Amino acid sequence: MLCEETIRRLIEIYRDEPKVLAAMERCFLSFEEYHAAIVKMELWRKLYAKAVDADEFRSRITEMDRNRTMHHNSVLGSVSMLNRLAEKNGLAPVYDGIVDKEQPYRRMVANEVLAYVEQIIQERP
């Protein structure tokens, strides 16, 4: 799981720096954008697997998979940025693992980010 304590501390540290807070917000929003890209692709796959011809299906899935990969890469950059902010402030990393575009690391980061998104949803009032 992403380190909630580090996230909380970063928010406290930068509460009077709107540009840094906005950059952090973009990082966290990239998590949900990645989540949405996955949901969109998987729902489309389920809905249209037998409803469109095979060429159109492959074409659309390829396009959506490229979009998902772009968002995944954005997540990796976001986690790296948050980790740099944490390091700059002497805090534990937001993600205490290897952040890399290669497998298995990219999947491990993604799983933690998706768990964080789910946690936000579960903890809403």
| Residue 84, amino acid | R
* Predicted TM-score of the model (pTM): 0.93
Domain chopping of the chain, boundaries: 4-122
d(CA 94, CA 83) in angstroms, rounded, equals: 5
pLDDT tens digits, 33-56? 999 999 999 999 999 999 999 999
Whether the predicted pLDDT of 24 surpasses 90? yes
121 — pLDDT class (breaks 50, 70, 90): very high
For residues 72, 77, 81 and 87, what is the CA-based torsion angle, rounded to 10 degrees?
Answer: 90
The predicted structure's pLDDT at residue 1: 86
Q: What is the mean pLDDT of residues 1-14?
A: 97
Domain 4-122: give its CATH architecture: Orthogonal Bundle (1.10)
105 in Cβ contact with 73 (< 8 Å): no
Torsion 11-17-18-21 (CA) sign: negative
